[in-house]
Amino acid sequence: MAIRTIRTEGDPVLTKKCRPVEEMTPRILELTQDMLDTMYEEMGVGLAAPQVGILKRIVVIDVGDGPLVLINPEIVETSGEQTGDEGCLSVPGMSGQVTRPNYVKVKALDMNMEEQEYEGEGLLARAFCHELDHLDGKLYTELVEGELHRTTYDYDEE
């Protein structure tokens, strides 16, 4: 078990586009395990590889239904709309209102590099959008309606 340091807003690594994972290697395996350990340690519900300084298309999510590891994830379908507070481990202590689709379908490779589909509504749909944005160097703060505030949130990626 290893906890990695979470990069925070202002670190250029958070604004870069991540590269796809070509093959499962011991290093990638270790990285995903460390990302899960780090997410749980920080009481997060999601973490993307660039948040620990690695520019690879890997996301981990656990909204309370067990861990998901998504490699090279892509959104294939969205519908509906939800507006709620969102937070990010890379923007500690802050949150802000963001509108996201209420339903999101994602395809991604699993730890065996086999393609899987995942469907999420509500919080999980929000987590998919938020975490996948990180892989393209986007932070939720770009999408906030109104102002960032210091308070509780519906989606604490965190």
* Contact positions vs Zn ion (CB under 5 A): 88, 157
CB of residue 75 to Zn ion, shortest distance in Å = 16
Question: Of 134, 111, 127, whose CA–CA distance to 119 is shortest?
Answer: 127
Q: Which one of 131, 142, 147, 157 is the catalytic residue? A: 131
Report whether 49 contacts 56 (CB < 8 A).
Answer: yes
Provide the residue type at 75 as one letter: I
Is residue 117 annotated as a catalytic residue, yes or no?
Answer: no
CB of residue 6 to Zn ion, shortest distance in Å = 9
Nearer to Zn ion, 24 or 84 (CB): 84
Residue whose Cβ sits closest to Zn ion: 88
Nearer to Zn ion, 88 or 109 (CB): 88
Q: What is the DSSP string of 111-131?
A: TTS-EEEEEEETHHHHHHHHH
